[in-house]
Structure 1
């Protein structure tokens, strides 16, 4: 897990399933770490994988019953995923149901071979032009906010979808393009 600070890495939503399963994760917070990990791919016969990128595969830690339950949940929430994708339109690459979250309502994940957020910020600070990358929004089907989103209609649905995306970006240590719009949406939902 690469983040801007140790606390950001330690408290990342991406670690929730690993804590639940008792799996150790290497937390990296130095500026050079993401670059280093792109060249250091294994140690002592174990391959490194960024927990904030691509599909989550826990291998032997998950049994068949868990995998089947996850597939059934994803299938049951297909309509919600489609509605959220439409509401967020160009803000995300994809929306899907996840099993990597236990306490958070949502998280953003980058595609497997994409440059991470920390490295992107370093490159941008150095004046390097970078192509736009849209995150993958993963929703926790067991969270109360996702249940509220599912029952919402009209404008409230769109506002809640955007709030969940913005919160996931903030939890990841990212920066919002329009923080004032986030505050306005949040205030609107809180006073409704």
Structure 2
């Protein structure tokens, strides 16, 4: 089953981070967006993005997707990975709070094909530009700390109908 990785292409909104800082997360980059401050306990930090998925074949049958985040914090137990959301007038929200460690770490949130279908998110919607993709961190305390957000991307697992060549794999039949 092929998997394609897609990266943010536009910042729509920012929470705690500045929009210019979040622009460092756009694309497949290793540049870090940073937020340094003391903010309230349970305050959110994050951003909402557009992700261009037009490279997904139009005939793709999506079996699921995974939001992936790479980040680290300047202190332990002060910031947490918290949520991922897909918004299209309705939303799919995935929460899984886990502390952001002091070494670069990956956080994943999975969305199934049935969850996408229940919200009317089909291949055409994924390929279009109407979806908003959000990732949020959570402050676990009021201590002064830095959050280093290196990367945000979405992996899409898909298959193609029998006999349909995949243009991304030199028209091989799957």
What is the TM-score of this pair, normalised by structure 1?
Answer: 0.25
What is the TM-score of this pair, normalised by structure 2?
Answer: 0.27
- Structure ranking higher in helix proportion: 1
- Structure ranking higher in strand proportion: 2
